[in-house]
Amino acid sequence: MRDPLSELPGYRLRRASAAMLGDLARRLEPVALTPVEASVILLIGSNQGLTQSAIGRALGIQRANMAPLIARLEARGQLTRKPADGRSHTLSLTPAGHSVHDAVAQITAEHEAQLLNRIAPEDRPGFLRALDSLWR
């Protein structure tokens, strides 16, 4: 079969990303978090007290999508909202949130190690530079 797509960098990027996202999602099943939820937990863990919208901006998640996401994590008792100035909330991890955070950090480290392991060492720096150029 002629397959013009698999030669295309953009198509390969999509497939590679989907494959790695699937791997991460599987690894996160034990903690019952989606990749996006896990990224929020990780970022709050490194920045206690940021506002909801600051977290969203850093992760490229829109305000409208942050609201139910944060409500879900709060309902699970993994984070708390404290009013900051009347219109904004600062987010912090609860003790349960810290536990999940540590588990997520561990899972993420394993996932990332497996990912890098698939790439030839000499290709890794260029790979990271290329991704950075595409993203920002």
Kindly state the number of chain residues that form the binding site for a second copy, as judged by CB under 8 A: 52
By CB under 7 A, name the one of 44, 66, 79, 100 that touches DNA.
66
Give the long-range contacts of residues 103-112, CB within 8 A, separation 24 or more.
103/30, 103/31, 104/28, 104/31, 104/33, 104/38, 104/41, 104/42, 105/42, 105/45, 107/24, 107/27, 107/28, 107/30, 107/31, 107/38, 108/24, 108/38, 108/42, 110/27, 111/20, 111/23, 111/24, 111/27
Of 10 and 121, CB closest to DNA: 10
Q: Is 113 in the site for DNA (CB under 7 A)?
A: no
Instruction: With contacts defined by CB under 7 A, name the span among 56-64, 97-105, 112-120, 128-136 that binds DNA.
Output: 56-64
Q: In the stretch 73-92, what mask flags binding to DNA with x, by CB under 7 A?
A: --------x--xxxxxx---
Tell which positions 82-121 bind a second copy, by CB under 8 A: 108, 111-112, 115-116, 118-120
Token pair 């219109």 is at which residue? 87
Which residues sit at the interface with DNA, rule CB under 7 A? 18, 22, 25, 34-37, 51-54, 56, 60-68, 70-71, 81, 84-89
